[in-house]
């Protein structure tokens, strides 16, 4: 198993707009974490260029907060973004999450994946450890969305 996961969805919007939604805080704050959580616009900082920093605070329905940090690794508008993402600031953020956007009939096919093929067990462990609070809270978040 080389992929942790691959998630694909066709979104009925032009590729440029989908790319903006992924890379502009005023959009990102709205959808990231889904409607079940709140990401205040003023907690979001997105320096979308290779080496640039990502920060966001996610307020969960149970009152807890997740502090996300990451680094943009690859940025190729409007087709590709790779960024690390962790909720344990200060730690090695592990493997990047990769977003690929492809224009298709009816909109844009967006693929999100994390691939471990080129990484050591140690990097994989760092990635898993990097989703710390997220793992604790994901079930609550998912339950709210489902409910």
Partner 1 sequence: MANDDLSRTFAALADPTRRAILARLAAGGATVGELAAPFDMTLAAVSKHLRVLEGAGLVSRGRDAQFRAAMLDARPLAAASVWIADYAKFWQDNLGALDSYLNALQQLGTPTPSHDKENPRD
| Contact positions vs partner 1 (CB under 8 A) | 1, 4-7, 9, 11-13, 16-18, 20-22, 24, 26-27, 30-35, 88, 91-92, 97, 110, 112, 114, 121-126, 128-136, 138, 141-142, 145
Q: Alpha-carbon torsion 90, 40, 15, 78, what sign?
A: negative
120, with CB counted inside 10 A (0-12, 13-18, 19+), is exposed
Q: By C-beta, is 69 or 114 nearer to partner 1?
A: 114
Q: How far is the CB of 110 from partner 1 (least distance, A)?
A: 6
Q: By C-beta, is 73 or 112 nearer to partner 1?
A: 112
Q: How far is the CB of 91 from partner 1 (least distance, A)?
A: 5
Rg (CA), the chain: 15
In angstroms, the CA 55 to CA 87 distance is 10
Q: By C-beta, is 32 or 103 nearer to partner 1?
A: 32
Residue 112, H or E segment? strand 107-115
């Amino acid at each position: 198993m080389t992929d942790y996961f691959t998630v694909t969805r066709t979104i009925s919007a032009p590729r440029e707009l989908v790319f903006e939604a992924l890379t502009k805080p005023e959009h990102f704050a709205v959808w990231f974490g889904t409607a079940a959580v709140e990401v205040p616009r003023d907690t979001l900082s997105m320096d979308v260029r290779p080496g640039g920093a990502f920060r966001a605070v996610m307020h969960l329905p149970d009152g807890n907060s997740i502090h996300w940090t990451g680094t943009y690794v690859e940025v190729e508008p409007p087709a590709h973004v790779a960024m690390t993402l962790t909720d344990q600031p200060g730690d090695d953020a592990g493997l990047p999450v990769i977003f690929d956007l492809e224009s298709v009939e009816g909109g844009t096919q967006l693929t999100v994946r994390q691939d471990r093929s080129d990484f050591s067990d140690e990097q994989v462990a760092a990635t898993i450890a990097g989703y710390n609070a997220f793992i604790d809270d994901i079930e609550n978040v998912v339950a709210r969305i489902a409910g």
